[in-house]
Amino acid sequence: MKDALTLTGVALAALFFSGCGGGGSSPTRLAQAQARWQTASISHYAFTLERSCFCPPDSNGPVRIEVRGGTVVSITKPDGSPITGDYFSAYDTVEELFEVVRSAENRPAASIITDFDPDRGYPTRISIDYIAQAVDDEVSYSVSDFTQLP
């Protein structure tokens, strides 16, 4: 009985915190953010991406990513040197970052916290805990220094 009560409490806390304020995630919030992104019609942009996870250090960043017409033009380290390997290929465009959120929602992950730019809709923060009782399965993405390019 005690285990059932504990699990119920954990489940209720997860529901409360995942839907709290502006940082929770839901298919509706994701759809609204994507609509803002599509309305903004930005085809050439750059942003800094940091990923935090229990992963190889080279896969965490920060990196500067430039995208033109949905295609990645460059991914560089803060010193300007190019990134080798495909560490960032699954989330190196705004569209792919939206897909990271959608995939976590469909999985479903134990906890998803997202923030989106209020004007242009792109994700500014994605934090995912896939399994509540597991260690080292969490991942987060932070987008900063977003710049629309000519």
Q: Which 3 state secondary structure label does DSSP give 41? A: coil
Segment 114-120 shows an average pLDDT of 97
The rounded percent of the chain whose pLDDT value lies above 70 is 83
Confidence (pTM): 0.80
- Tell me the pLDDT tens digit for each residue of 118-129: 999 999 999 999
How many residues in total does the chain contain? 150
Question: Which pLDDT belongs to residue 25?
Answer: 65
Query: Mean pLDDT of all residues in the chain?
Result: 84
Q: Order across the sheet with 63-68: list the strands.
A: 71-76, 63-68, 44-53, 138-148, 123-129, 111-116
DSSP 82: B
Residue 82: C-alpha distances to residues 56, 85, 97 (Å): 17, 10, 21
Would you place residue 83 in the very low, low, confident or very high pLDDT band (cuts 50, 70, 90)?
Answer: confident
Question: Which pLDDT belongs to residue 9?
Answer: 39
